[in-house]
Structures are given as C-alpha cells and as structure tokens.
Structure 1
C-alpha cells in the first residue's frame, strides 16, 4: 500500500527559521534525513530533547491534515514536564495566536495542530487517541509494550511517523529496535557517540571519563549497548546465562506441573512467571504481564494455556482486605479456582540475594519470556543525583513487576537437596531431547 508522503516544512513556514533554535551541525543534518520511522542513539548532552521538540513543531506547523495531533512521550509524565514543557513553550512562543494549556501540557498552533506531552508510566492514557507524529524520548527506560501495543496502532490511520531517541541501557528492547532499523529500508538508524560529534570539548570528556566507570562512560557518552547497566542487579548473571546457552528455547514438559509466581499490582501491572522443576534445573517456560484489568483476566489467561498447574505463589499482601469490597484478592482468586500459596513477608534485600542464587540454575525460554528478561536486565538501584551515589533500594518503575514476581518464585521454591549444594554439578541440557 502506498503511503502518504510525510509533510516537510517549507522555508516560508518552517519554525526552524525562528532564531530561538539554532541546530548544531549534526542536528541540522539529521532533520533532513529523517524517514517515517527513526531510531536515534545519542550521547548525553547531544541536545536530544531540543531536537525532538523542534522537529515536532516544524512538522505540526507544516501539516495540512484535519486536526493534526502530535505527541512527545517520556518515561515519566513528570520527566516530560520538567524537561520538555519549557522547551515546547519557549520554541513556540514566537508563533502568533498559539494556545497553551498548562494543566494538560499541550500547545495548539494556528492551523489547529496540537502537540502534547505524555508519560509512559501511564500508557493506558494514550489508548483511543491518534497521532500524526510522535517522539518517544529515552525509549530504553520505557516498558517494551508501549510501542507495539499502544503507540504503533495510533499511527495507522494517519500514516503517522515516529522518532525514538535515547541513550543505551544494555541489550534491551531499545537495542532490538535499533538493530531492526539497521536492516529495514523504511527505518533510519543513526548513532551519535560523543567521540564523533565533537559537541563536547575533549577536556570535558576526559574529566567525565575520570569520574565514571568505564562501563558508565561507554554507555552514556559512547552509546555502547554492550556496556553493563549501572546499578543493575541481575544483568551480569543474565549475560552469563546467555553465554551458557540458557536463554534459548525451553519447551514445556507435559508430565510435570507448572508453578507460577505472581506480583499483583494495585492500579499497576501484574506479572506472572511460569516455571517447571527438573532435578536441579529451573525451567522458566513463559511470562505474562498486563495492567488495568481484573483478576479474572489473569485466571482466564492461565486457563487458556495447556499447562497443568502445581502451586501458584503469591505475595503476603494478597491477604489484605480491600476497603471497597471488604474481601481479599486471595479470596477472589480462590473463588476463581486458583490454588494459591501465600508467602511470608521477607526483606527485599534477602529476596534479591535469593534471585541471584537462583539464576545460575535457571533456563529461560528467550521468546516467551522476552519482556520479563528485558525487565530483569534493567532492574537496578535508584540513583541519588544530589549525593551522586546509588541508593540501597531498587528504582521502582516498569521493571519492578517482573523482578518482584521472580523474587516470589525464589522464595516459594523448595530448597535444593544438601548434596547438590555442597557439590554442584554442571548442568547439561539438550533441547533436542524434548
């Protein structure tokens, strides 16, 4: 199907002619190269947000569509407001007869085009809308389902365009998207390490290199997807699992029960891991996550799978009574036929160590568990910018649900036989036997 060409601003209408925005050479060149779908990997202080906001303004000003709509999506709505809202107002200020909504964070241009800020922390707010164009800034920090399940359908009927931009955070969904873009003629893939853009002075890069670990510098300034995510709890162990071939195809064994471990969100995502025990091995065969739905949705999903279930491991707070109904989620699940085991409360730090001890025994189905694995790779400690140090507590974001559910799996599984603990043996697993 032939696509409608994307409108490009003419010199007469281009908002870029406003002297408030003077693009750097790399930015100016990039503005002219963009395709319908674009993945741009850029170092810190490249000017990503300024570039994105001015691209949105230029496209919006040139649009001749009916009620055109454009979006800027950041990982958090507060982040979008703190970083992009000031830029959006500043660079649209010279345009006559604009309308600004401080409460809803949008600017409307004289031609009716509206640019609005959103946060990926509440992606369901986007459902039902349409976009003529959208920017996803720092996509590596967003949930992997935001693009394929929510934003991409919003572009379909308007042949809308998309621009992903950010800094790497390991080999996660942002890396997968960049890799796809390098092999697809309809996509633009561009990478801007600090050593090639020359935007930052050499003396400043040298000072940053002395103050940061090699992994941090490689990730933040040289745009390396191979560098470890600073503060990550499980990334190194998952790298080992990948090298060992334990992130592969892990088929379901019908003769064995499937154990599930749940993290139940309240007004948030719920995550479920599906595992089978085979000797000392833990085969994690599936992962499911959803949000904004009732408990019955998860039970229906479990019933739709061919598995024969053993125990369903649930966190201790599942037995807390809800104020609205007076019942517990445990009672609701049992009424729906779920045979649940409620775990005792334990310290978060102990649970993280239990997962670290568990991962060397785990095999993951790389395809079915892809979203959960992305979350585990990025599950990390929070960072205190004022103290310039990592927190002792994890950062609570979209990765927390999968990580918490795996903690419950580690807490609920039976302990290994003592001889295995004293004399661990290498695991040999041939998927072709199953």
Structure 2
C-alpha cells in the first residue's frame, strides 16, 4: 500500500521467518502441532496482499471443510488485518477486503467446484492430506495459471497416500527452483518445552507421536516394514541426488508381473559395499521386449540382472519360460534364491542402512518401500505374518530380490570390469 505505513501485530519466530524469507512460488511446509503454521500462512497472504502492485489481487485460504476454515483461520485473519485502515470484513463469506483492492477469502475444499472459474494470485492449502488430489490438480492449480500465482501446502504428515506427500515429493524432485520445502519437527524447533513433549509421548501411541510432533510420513503406516529405516536414511542424507558412476556396472533386480506390474530397481555397488540405488522403473501390461527397450534407452553399463526363481516356469501359451524369452532379447538373468519372504524382509532391513537412494529417479519406488506393510487381520485384531499384497508389493519384492540375489563378482585383475550381460544395448 503505497504511501501508508501499516504495522501488522505479528512477530514471526526464527523458523517462521526462515519460511517467509526462503519460500518460492510453490512451497510445502511440514511442521509439528502448535508450531504456528496457520498464523504464518495467514500472515504470508496478508504481506503479499499489501505489497502486490497487481490490481484486484485475489487469494484463498483453503481448509478441508468450510467450517474448519472458519474455526481455524478466520479470527487470525481479522486479528492481523484489523489495524489496516478501511479494511472490511464479510462474515458470511469469510472475506477480507483491503483498501488497495486486494482480497483474502477463506474456503472449504469440500465444495471445491464452487471455486471453478475464479483466478488466484495466492493460495494456501491447510492440511492437504485431508483433501482430494483432484481438488488441486483439476480445480485449484488451473486457477493460478493466468496470473502465475503462488501456492503453499502446510500440514502434518498422514502417511504417503495423499496430496501432502505427493507435493512433498514433487518439491524434493524440483529442478527448476520453483518449489521449496521445509520440515520442522518438535525435537529441532525448541518451540515446545521438553517436559510437555515427554508428557505427550507418554500419553500417545509412538506412531502417533512421531506423526504429530516429529513430522514422520512413515509413522502413520501401521505395520510398515521399512518406513523407520527410510526415515533414518532421509535424516542421514542418504536420500538425495546421487551421481551415477559411468564406469561402474549398473545391476538390476526385477519383479516380473504377468497381468500386473513389473518393477525394476537399478543399483551400483561401491567398493566399500554401500549401494547406490540410482533408478527405478515400473509399468504394467507390457511384454519383456518393452523392458528390454527401457534398459537400452537408459544407456547404463549393465552388470547383473536378477529375477525371481519362478522366471523359469514355462508359459502354457508359448511353451517357453520368461527366462528363455529374456535370453533371446539379450538379458541373461541370475536367479534369486527361493527364500521365505520373512527371511528376505530381514535381509532388506539389514541392507538398508548401507543404501543411498536418488530422491528423484527413485521417488515412486521409495514410496512403495515406505508403504509396504504387514497384512492386518481384522477378525482377530492382529497382524498376519505375511505382507499385504497391493500396489507396494512390486517395488518391495524386486528390492528384496536385489538384496537376496545379488552376488558381486570379485575381479582380481587391474583390467576394467565388464558388464555381466551379452546384451549390446546399442547394436539394434
């Protein structure tokens, strides 16, 4: 607002100020309960409203329900814009009109279709884990397009199968610099007294505490096999951009589906024994020739290809096994041993602390590993001894075959190592 000095009664805490100063056009803010995310989000909108030179500037604060938006954010919006001269409030529409023509309005995404046809310069989605993904992709994202508006997603993790996790992953894989993300767990912010955190931990299920106060996506996945280990890998910086050594063989491990998905992990083994997990691919309804083409297009120097033991089973239609078909395509599979699934899961657990994952190329595979969990037997109110078979199984099974089936070739010479495959990727 040119020519008018307005003091908003908001003094951000250090981490809130960091968020204000460093956020980009699209931003994901994960924070523990009582961090002050709604206060920060509302003030971020107000600051933009007052500073923007655009005419008829419009913004929306969206909660999963209209009543929730009113309960959570309306009083804050009135509190922090109240000192602005000539500000006007519309109680029925939860709308704040500023004297420069800017407007901040609260909505519930339970009636998202009512938003169609509007435009936005700025947007906040509070607790997007409780929102339908299509609210963002089909309704709200197009509203930002013509004005190149901003969007903030803020909330507490609730597992991996929701919008909040999707945008968190998208922000981590961004290469254009338009996404940013922040994670502020209670153990690091210091905003809540340790005595209070200890009392909360005693009174809550451990998974509930980790979700609500430590911003853990994995904690909400009951019975998850690898979620905690992947959280540790992320905290230790082992889920990041991984360089591919062009002189080091890339090994692959496959879960071969018939009518469902085929999943392939790509990894390199360091001389010290650590694994670089550099890539992941999954598709369904395709024949082996499709996956041979995928390997060719990626252009890696291949080493060992690992398949499950049932690849040798002959198909009724052709009389040939997929192992034989793969050989005809130039892919020579090593066979993973037939072990109990529980033994393979234990082997993966032992291996994960020595694995480094590329956060972009492996994002969908990591999501599968995080969500892979035990079957819940509702009738007995207990977990079964077997894993649940769902969309996570393909990525988890192929990783298990990698761990149990890979045997490094000991090269005692000084000559460059050759990939263990007859498949000439560039000859066709």
TM-score by length of 2: 0.53
Residue from 144, 150, 172 that aligns with 2:133 = 144
Contact 1:248 1:365 in 2 (8 A): no
Alpha-carbon distance in structure 1 between the residues aligned to 2:207 and 2:388: 27
2:190 corresponds to:
198
Alpha-carbon distance in structure 2 between the residues aligned to 1:38 and 1:237: 28
1:176 CA displacement: 2.3
Residue from 22, 25, 32 that aligns with 2:21 = 32
Residue from 104, 108, 131 that aligns with 1:115 = 104
1:207 corresponds to:
199
Residue from 170, 180, 191 that aligns with 1:180 = 170
1:362 CA displacement: 5.3
1:302 corresponds to:
none
1:217 CA displacement: 0.6
2:124 corresponds to:
135
1:103 lines up with 2:97 in the alignment: no
1:365 CA displacement: 9.2
1:197/1:63 Cα in 2 relative to 1: closer, same or farther (>3 Å)?
same
1:237 CA displacement: 8.5
1:231-246 pair list within 5 angstroms: 236=223
Q: Could you say what secondary structure the match of 2:42 adopts?
A: helix
Contact 1:61 1:111 in 2 (8 A): yes
Q: Could you say what secondary structure the match of 1:115 adopts?
A: strand
1:220 CA displacement: 0.3
1:149 CA displacement: 1.2
1:227 lines up with 2:219 in the alignment: yes
1:361/1:166 Cα in 2 relative to 1: closer, same or farther (>3 Å)?
closer
1:170 corresponds to:
159
Alpha-carbon distance in structure 1 between the residues aligned to 2:5 and 2:226: 47
Alpha-carbon distance in structure 2 between the residues aligned to 1:237 and 1:210: 22
Contact 1:71 1:133 in 2 (8 A): yes
1:63 lines up with 2:55 in the alignment: no
1:239/1:142 Cα in 2 relative to 1: closer, same or farther (>3 Å)?
farther
Unmatched runs of 5 consecutive residues or more in structure 2: 228-253, 263-282, 287-377, 395-428
TM-score by length of 1: 0.52
Aligned length: 251
Alpha-carbon distance in structure 1 between the residues aligned to 2:4 and 2:189: 29
1:160 corresponds to:
149
2:31 corresponds to:
42
1:67/1:248 Cα in 2 relative to 1: closer, same or farther (>3 Å)?
same
1:13/1:177 Cα in 2 relative to 1: closer, same or farther (>3 Å)?
farther
Q: Could you say what secondary structure the match of 2:219 adopts?
A: coil
Contact 1:72 1:116 in 2 (8 A): yes
Q: Could you say what secondary structure the match of 1:227 adopts?
A: helix
1:51 corresponds to:
40
1:35-434 pair list within 5 angstroms: 35-173=24-162, 174-184=164-174, 185-228=177-220, 236=223, 248=261, 251=284, 363-364=390-391
Alpha-carbon distance in structure 2 between the residues aligned to 1:190 and 1:360: 33
Alpha-carbon distance in structure 1 between the residues aligned to 2:119 and 2:148: 10
Any idea what the Cα deviations from partners look like across 1:137-183, whole Å, max 9, x if unmatched? 11111111111111110000001000110000011231221122022
1:361 CA displacement: 8.0
1:238 CA displacement: 11
1:36/1:237 Cα in 2 relative to 1: closer, same or farther (>3 Å)?
closer
Q: Could you say what secondary structure the match of 1:136 adopts?
A: strand
1:82 CA displacement: 0.5
Contact 1:169 1:225 in 2 (8 A): yes
Any idea what the Cα deviations from partners look like across 1:177-229, whole Å, max 9, x if unmatched? 11220221221011000011100011111111111111001000000011025
Contact 2:261 2:284 in 1 (8 A): no
1:360 CA displacement: 7.2
Give me the CA root mean square deviation: 3.4
Q: Could you say what secondary structure the match of 1:121 adopts?
A: helix
